[in-house]
Each structure stands twice: as C-alpha cells, then as structure tokens.
C-alpha cells in the first residue's frame, strides 16, 4: 500500500495536473447544483462527448429546476431520447417536482435529502455534494476504480466488497486537506484522460512515481476483471404500416421496459418463427390489423444492458376496407403521422434508427391500403 507520507505529494501532483489539464466542460463553468445533478445522471454509461451534446440541448430546453418541473413527460423523454435507461429521465422529472414543492426549487445541500429524491443513489448524492457544494464526500467511479487498482496494485476485482471499501477509504484520505471538488474531479479526470483502460499514458502521469503497478510492471493487468456475463440474443420483428402517406405508431404502456415511448407494433420471435411471420402475427395481436404483402425494410442491432437485440422491420399496408382505428392490446394510444412528424415523438433506440432510415429515404415505404 501507499505510505501515508506519500499522500501529500500525491495530492499536490494530482491537483497541479488537474489545474492545467482539466477539460472545459459546461457544468464546470459555474458548478450550478442543477447542472451538476443533470450531468451526473447523463454521464452514467454515456461517453463524455455525447454527454456534453445532450447536456447542452437539455439546458436549452430545461434551463433550471422550475423549467424541468413544468415540462411534460413526453417532452422529457424526447430530450432524453438516445441515452437509454428512460427511468432516469422519468426520475429527473419526479425529483424536480419534489424539489420545487418541498425545497423551493433549490437542490438540497444535505446528503440525506439528496438521497430521498427519485433516481439519486449514494454515488450521485456524493458527486453532487462534492462537485456542486465542495463538501468532503468521496466519489469513486469506474475511472477512479481503475486508477486506484493500479496505484495500489490491487490483485482482486474492483467490485469485491472489501476492495470497494478500501478504495472508498483511500478516496477519503486523499480528500483530507484538499478542496473536495478539485480532488474528486482530478481523480476522475486522470482516469479518463491518462490512466485509460487500454494503453494508459504512464510517461505523462503526474503520479507515476507513486504507482505500485507501474513499479511492478503490472499496469496492463490492473484492474483485475470480474466475472463477465455473456450477451443474451433477442430477435424481434415489427411492422411499419403506411396508409395514404401516414405511418402508424403506438405508445408503450408505462409498466413496460420502455414505458411511455412510441414504437412500431411488434415483438419477439417465437421458437422456429421467421421474422416476417412474427411481424404479421404481432401486428394482428396488438392492433387487429391484417398485414397486406409485408416486405423487408431494414434490420438493426442494438444493445441494452446484457441484451443484444436484433430488430427486423417490414413495411406493409393493411387490407382494403379495413377500419384504420386499431384495437389496441399492448399500447396506451396510437397516432397516424407523417414521416416528418415522427420527430415529435420519443422512440427506443432500435425504433429511432428505423425512423432515421425512413426519413433518409427519398421516398417512404410503399403506400398501400
């Protein structure tokens, strides 16, 4: 382990490096608690560059807690579209309502009050307390875990309970005698920019002299990987119905995994079922419509936690004389919209890619009735 006498030198090296190398991120310009909160939720499992783009668009639409509180759920889901984990967006809206109703529109400066808000767990509460309010709460994200695993040459998976406790203690020790906001961000920034998962830039690391893995030649072996769960493949099929240049979409029920979002009707393939047969079956089960000569349109693959989802889409009309009012069995409501109007609705990732494909085509899918 690192000797206590080294901590002061390690802190100084980190803070000096951060002062000269920190990225110009929008929430760092003011450290407004609302900005910090939104950025922390957005950056969970999102790359920084993409997170900044979403953050800037979000702030244009919802510049403060009151604006977010006044928004509709559909507006919030649309602004979140593409980030995934839509429960986070719904929790932001719920939390904003509580902040306005119970805190006068001000983000709580108390850790326990933050924890009481929907969607805020121990990590996010610690990050807001530290970065927004400069309070001494350790913040150990994946970047810091990797940095500490190398710094102390830890030969066990970082998710082991005692290893996590050890890292929390190290983070707390480093916060002593330093501005918590700067120290926590310096650790995260060094992990993101220098102590990277692959090909870390050890020659330019400001704390290389303190790194036990560097001394031992084990940097490439740290952190020790934990057990990995394989991806589960799921095949799905959906139908894009075009009637008189209008496309049918439906809104998922709120108890579904993508509750409140819009989609083209469809579902999972049964054992031995072809994508085309599944698309026709699902359409009839969910709407009562009978597909007319479905044709393949586009296939997309996207990932959701442990799942690799392949979505097959088919364009179809419905039988002549059919009432265009569906008998919904798996959705809250429906719309017939133009290709351009599809942009007004939030879709899950796979269906959004189908929307983009529809809109990029010079002509839409064949119009049939």
Q: Which residues are catalytic?
A: 40
- Report the distance separating Cα 38 and Cα 91, nearest Å: 11
What's the CA gap between 281 and 294, in Å, rounded? 12
Q: Return the sign of the alpha-carbon dihedral for residues 20, 26, 29, 30.
A: negative
CA distance 19 to 350: 41
Q: Which tokens sit at 326?
A: 């569906």
What 3-state class would DSSP assign to 165? helix
Q: How many angstroms separate the Cα of 99 from the Cα of each of 31, 84, 94, 113?
A: 18, 24, 9, 10
* 37 close to 65: Cβ distance less than 8 angstroms: no
As a whole number of angstroms, the distance between CA 48 and CA 60 comes to: 18
Residue 202 — φ and ψ, nearest 5°? -60, -40
Whether 244 and 367 have beta carbons less than 8 Å apart is answered as yes
Nearest CA to 307 out of 356, 273, 258 is that of 258
How far does the chain reach from its first CA to its final CA, in angstroms? 72
Q: What are the tokens at 48?
A: 């920084």
């Amino acid at each position: 382990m690192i000797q206590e006498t080294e901590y002061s030198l390690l802190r100084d090296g980190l803070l000096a490096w951060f002062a000269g190398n920190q990225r110009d991120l929008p929430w760092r310009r003011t450290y407004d608690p609302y900005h910090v909160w939104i950025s922390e939720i957005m950056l969970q499992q999102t790359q920084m560059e993409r997170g900044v783009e979403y953050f800037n668009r979000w702030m244009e639409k919802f510049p403060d807690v009151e604006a977010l509180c006044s928004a509709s759920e559909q507006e919030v889901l649309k602004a979140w579209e593409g980030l995934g984990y839509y429960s986070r967006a719904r929790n932001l809206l719920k939390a904003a309502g509580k902040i306005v109703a119970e805190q006068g529109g001000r983000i709580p400066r108390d850790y326990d009050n933050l924890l009481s808000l929907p969607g805020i767990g121990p990590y996010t509460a610690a990050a807001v307390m530290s970065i927004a309010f400069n309070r001494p709460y350790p913040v150990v994200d994946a970047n810091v875990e990797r940095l500490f695993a190398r710094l102390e040459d830890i030969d066990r998976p970082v998710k082991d309970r005692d290893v996590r406790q050890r890292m929390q203690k190290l983070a707390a020790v480093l916060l002593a005698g330093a501005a918590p906001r700067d120290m926590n961000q310096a650790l995260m920034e060094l992990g993101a920019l220098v102590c990277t998962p692959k090909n870390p830039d050890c020659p330019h690391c400001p704390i290389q002299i303190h790194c036990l893995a560097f001394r031992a030649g084990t940097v490439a072996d740290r952190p020790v990987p934990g057990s990995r769960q394989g991806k589960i493949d799921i095949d799905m099929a959906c139908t894009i119905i075009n009637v008189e240049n209008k496309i049918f979409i439906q809104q998922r029920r709120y108890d579904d995994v993508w509750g409140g979002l819009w989609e083209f009707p469809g579902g999972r393939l049964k054992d031995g079922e072809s994508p085309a047969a599944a698309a026709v079956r699902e359409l009839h089960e969910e709407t009562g419509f009978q597909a007319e000569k479905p044709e393949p349109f586009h296939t997309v693959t996207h990932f959701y936690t442990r799942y690799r989802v392949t979505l097959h889409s088919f364009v179809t009309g419905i039988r002549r004389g059919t009432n265009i009012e569906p008998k919904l069995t798996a959705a809250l409501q429906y719309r017939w919209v133009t290709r351009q109007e599809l942009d007004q609705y939030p879709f899950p990732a796979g269906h959004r890619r189908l929307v983009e494909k529809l809109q990029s085509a010079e002509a839409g899918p064949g119009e049939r009735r």
